[in-house]
Amino acid sequence: MFASVIICTYNRDKYIYNLLKSVAENTLSTDKYEIVLVNNNSTDKTESECERFQADYPSVQFNYHVETSQGLSYARNRGIKESHGDVLVYVDDDALINKEYLQTYVDFFESNPDIHAAGGPILPLYETEEPQWMTKYTRQLLTGKLYLGEKKREFPKNSFPGGGNAAYRKEVFDKVGLFNVDLGRKGDSLIGAEEKDIFDKMTTLGLRFFYLPTSILYHIIPEKKLQKEYFDKLTYSIGKSERIRTKNISTLKYLRRILSEIVKWGASIVFFLYYTITLSPLKGWKLLQFRFNVTKGLLGY
């Protein structure tokens, strides 16, 4: 089985070389995978960092492409087009992976021909200290943290792999279509949900996906992502992404999402009261800010 590691990048020259290095230093033989890097109009030194990687690791099959249509979904779709692998492994451009990462995915798909996708843990790697207001809910939001334990298992209902650490059989995209270009990051925009859209379509078709504890991605979290401005922009964008995604499906789907938001408000208030009583009011207040911003985006305010 041959794997294509797809890395879509936009202005991440600070991280891209070390990510590529962590891929090249995996235990999987270099004749069993390729790297497909899609540069989505970066204006920094991404290209020269890629050239440096090619010079340092000439044995790695490295394919470099520029996608001029701005947007992560455009770049993801370009990666599908340019890939030669039976399995497509998407890796975020601001991350590192463990040495067993690729071998784990290849072994799993070879041993489980009836499973169509998989994902592994996403663990935050902070450049600064984690703020005191962080809870497991805001941590998942800001860092994408995903951890379901040390055992291989099917993803629970309403749960799916993180977009920055997910592998698919290439045939999945023949079955469900490509990534929705109305969703996903575009430049500095924080619209997302393009991978959620894919997994929802897979679920509808009965396609299964598993959690693999030994394919670990370490997501680098700079100080900027812990600031209020980023927090507000991201949480609003989550709601806006859900509005776009659900309305694209049907009005009924959108209305159901609004109903679920009301339920989530109830849970957020309960947690706010809990954290206030336990003398951690900042944690509770941050959860209410999160919910308020998501609701604004969902309703289009």
Q: What are the structural domain ranges in the chain?
A: 3-226, 234-299
User: Which amino acid, one-letter code, is at 34?
Assistant: E
pLDDT score of 1: 81
pLDDT score of 187: 83
Q: Please compute, for residue 98, the number of CA atoms within 13 A of its CA located in the half-sphere on the CB side.
A: 18
pLDDT score of 164: 93
Tell whether the model's pLDDT for residue 139 goes beyond 90. Answer: yes
Tell whether the model's pLDDT for residue 16 goes beyond 90. Answer: yes
Q: pTM here?
A: 0.92
Average pLDDT for 210-239: 96
pLDDT score of 189: 87
Find out whether 21 and 33 touch, Cβ atoms under 8 Å. Answer: no
Report the Cα 45 to chain-centroid distance in Å: 23
Tell whether the model's pLDDT for residue 260 goes beyond 90. Answer: yes
Q: Is the dihedral of CA 223, 138, 70, 85 positive or negative?
A: positive
CA geometry: angle 107, 112, 116, nearest 5 deg: 100
Tell whether the model's pLDDT for residue 249 goes beyond 90. Answer: yes
Residue 271's φ and ψ, nearest 5 degrees, are -65, -40
Angle (deg, nearest 10), helices 13-24 and 46-56:
20
CA geometry: angle 84, 96, 48, nearest 5 deg: 70
- Name the band, by pLDDT with cuts 50, 70 and 90, for residue 111: very high
Q: Which residues, 6+ apart, have CB-to-CB distance to 223 below 8 Å?
A: 127, 128
Average pLDDT for 180-206: 93
The architecture that CATH gives domain 3-226 is Alpha-Beta Complex (3.90)
Tell whether the model's pLDDT for residue 208 goes beyond 90. Answer: yes
Q: Which residues, 6+ apart, have CB-to-CB distance to 296 below 8 Å?
A: 236, 239
- Name the band, by pLDDT with cuts 50, 70 and 90, for residue 234: very high
pLDDT score of 188: 83
Average pLDDT for 53-73: 98
pLDDT in tens, 87-109: 999 999 999 999 999 999 999 99
Q: What is the dihedral of CA 235, 240, 246, 252, to 10 degrees?
A: 100
What average pLDDT does the chain have? Answer: 96
Percent of all residues in the chain with a pLDDT value above 90, rounded to a whole number: 95
Residue 164's φ and ψ, nearest 5 degrees, are -90, 0
